[in-house]
A and B are shown apart, each in its own frame.
Chain A
Amino acid sequence: MKSKADVVIVGGGINGCALAYELSRRGKEVVVLEKRWLAHGATGRCGAGIRQQWSTEENALLAKRSVAIFEHLSEELGHDIELRQGGYLIAIHDEDDMHQAKENVAMQRRIGLPVRIIYEDEIREIAPILDVKGMDAIAATFCSTDGHANPFLTTYAYARAAERHGASIHKFTEVKDIRVNEGRVTAVVTDSGVITTPVVVNAAGAWSPHISRMAGIAMPNQPVRKEALVTEPLRRLFDCMVISFKHGIYFSQQDHGQILGGIPSPEETTGYHEEPTYSFLRHMAYMLGRYAPPLKHINILRQWTGYYDVTPDALPILGTTDVEGFIQCNGFSGHGFMIAPMTARLLAQLICGEKLEMPIDRLNISRFKGGGVVKEKSVVG
């Protein structure tokens, strides 16, 4: 292991690997430390969705600019990431939903997203498998450029590209301590050596509060166990991701034909609990059957859990802290994969002292010191 680096990134998920790529191609000497293997945490357990339909402009803009990067990422990184833009269909269940949807759509269209409100006939046309009555829906919003990509392949593509630019990636390497001297980061202590560095990026997802604590920084984010399941593969039935904020359900058909989805478990809990629950399996199966009755007849192959790294306002924590050189890249609250390309680019610009393409001050951890944060409302799973 190298004994010094320009930047040490803690966490080998999508955000750590994407940032390693953006920094190393700018000439920085980068080391990534991952306690298990790449994409072991939330990245490798997520729903793979890429959504731009958010209620806060920060998230919508991050997502929109990430999609612009995703669209050319396979060529840029030299590896297919299996991007498919089949759109996101978000159910509207009642007048309250409709009011919020109209507000969201107005903001989303203002920043240039092709979003619109659609009704029963068009919902059926886009996804014939859906039962609008079973969904208890009166309409939906639809954005055709939303979609999904393969989180494993995307992470590996970023990691390999970073390595080609000279980054070192160490899996099965645990961070034990972060040394801080006179208010600035000086080194990272691992279970296989010490690395002297002026910059540490905390991209440890659900484990980021532990990493921050090593530098003497308290964080407001908490791990929440989330569950997902996947069915046997089928011929292509529909292209879009289907979600509902009211029911919390999301599901889509992946590239290999399998239906992948999740819903908040009746036993949803804060803290580090990895066990899958039977109640999730029952609840998800029931709701999937209501939304798409033909799916009642296919087999579920597998269920698993992963963590949402949840902040009080469901917005990420990005940027500088009171400790000089300690940079936050966490708190993604269930949508870290889809905004990773733009997040990585912005943090690389911040660390390299370049002009940022868009401001991220409002995502700084200091926002939790005052009151009055504006919560992201469009959260599922």
Chain B
Amino acid sequence: MKIVCRCEDITEDDILRAIDEYGCTTLAELKQVLRLGMGHCQGRTCLLIAAKILARKTGKGLEEIIPSLRPPDVAVEVGMMGGCDEK
């Protein structure tokens, strides 16, 4: 078994199955279906591996597959952010 996304516990087989069952051709769709890359590390390791699996399966180029990145870049405490606006 090859683990791809450690935070959300997703294997290579899970990804291959999602591509076949849901017709996923983008990382965005794999995120939606599997929660790939939505865990604590925000896909730092797994998204590139998954992108390569997608490229291999779909014949698309990597540049078509890499998604937009959502802030914040690193996890940040609610109290720290909220403290900025405390009156």
The chain A residues found within 8 Å of chain B, CB to CB, are 37-40, 44, 152-153, 156, 160, 171, 230-233, 256, 276, 281-283, 285-290, 295-304
Size class of the contact patch on chain B:
20 to 34
A152: chain B residues at CB < 8 Å are 32-33
17 CB < 8 A contacts A-B: A37-B28, A37-B29, A171-B25, A276-B70, A282-B82, A282-B84, A283-B85, A285-B80, A286-B82, A286-B86, A289-B82, A297-B79, A298-B78, A299-B76, A300-B77, A301-B38, A302-B70
Q: How far is A283 from B86 in the complex, measured between Cα atoms in Å?
A: 10
Most buried by B among A152, A301, A304: A301
**Which chain A residue has the least Cβ–Cβ distance from B37?**
A302
B78: chain A residues at CB < 8 Å are 231, 285, 288-289, 295-300
**Which chain B residue has the least Cβ–Cβ distance from A266?**
B85
Closest Cβ of chain B: how far from A76's Cβ, in Å? Answer: 19
Give the residue of A156, A281, A299 whose beta carbon is less than 8 angstroms from that of B33.
Answer: A156
Closest Cβ of chain B: how far from A327's Cβ, in Å? Answer: 27
Contact of A39 with B32 in the complex, beta carbons under 8 Å: yes
Contact of A303 with B85 in the complex, beta carbons under 8 Å: no
Among B57-87, those with CB < 8 Å from A are 70-72, 75-86
Q: How far is A152 from B29 in the complex, measured between Cα atoms in Å?
A: 9
Contact of A300 with B72 in the complex, beta carbons under 8 Å: yes
Contact of A276 with B71 in the complex, beta carbons under 8 Å: yes
Closest Cβ of chain A: how far from B54's Cβ, in Å? Answer: 13
Contact of A281 with B70 in the complex, beta carbons under 8 Å: no
Closest Cβ of chain B: how far from A10's Cβ, in Å? Answer: 20
A230: chain B residues at CB < 8 Å are 38
A300-B33 in contact given A232-B40, A282-B82, A289-B82 (Cβ < 8 Å):
no
Most buried by A among B29, B75, B82: B82
A282: chain B residues at CB < 8 Å are 81-82, 84-85
Contact of A281 with B75 in the complex, beta carbons under 8 Å: no
Closest Cβ of chain B: how far from A248's Cβ, in Å? Answer: 15
Closest Cβ of chain A: how far from B71's Cβ, in Å? Answer: 6
Contact of B28 with A301 in the complex, beta carbons under 8 Å: no
A285-B70 in contact given A37-B28, A299-B75, A302-B42 (Cβ < 8 Å):
no
Q: How far is A287 from B35 in the complex, measured between Cα atoms in Å?
A: 27
Q: How far is A341 from B50 in the complex, measured between Cα atoms in Å?
A: 33
Does B26 sit within 8 A of A, measured CB to CB?
A: yes
Closest Cβ of chain A: how far from B45's Cβ, in Å? Answer: 15
**Which chain B residue has the least Cβ–Cβ distance from A43?**
B32
Contact of B81 with A285 in the complex, beta carbons under 8 Å: yes
A298: chain B residues at CB < 8 Å are 77-78
Q: How far is A223 from B63 in the complex, measured between Cα atoms in Å?
A: 29
A sample of 20 more A-B contacts (CB under 8 A), given A160-B22, A285-B79, is A152-B33, A156-B22, A156-B33, A171-B25, A231-B78, A232-B75, A281-B71, A282-B81, A283-B85, A287-B82, A288-B78, A288-B82, A289-B79, A289-B82, A297-B79, A299-B77, A299-B78, A300-B72, A302-B38, A302-B42
Q: How far is A27 from B22 in the complex, measured between Cα atoms in Å?
A: 23
B1-43 vs A, Cβ < 8 Å mask (1 yes, 0 no)? 0000000000000000000001001101100110100111010
Q: How far is A296 from B80 in the complex, measured between Cα atoms in Å?
A: 7
Contact of B22 with A37 in the complex, beta carbons under 8 Å: no
Q: How far is A373 from B12 in the complex, measured between Cα atoms in Å?
A: 53
Give the residue of A44, A297, A302, A304 whose beta carbon is less than 8 angstroms from that of B77.
Answer: A297
**Which chain B residue has the least Cβ–Cβ distance from A298?**
B78
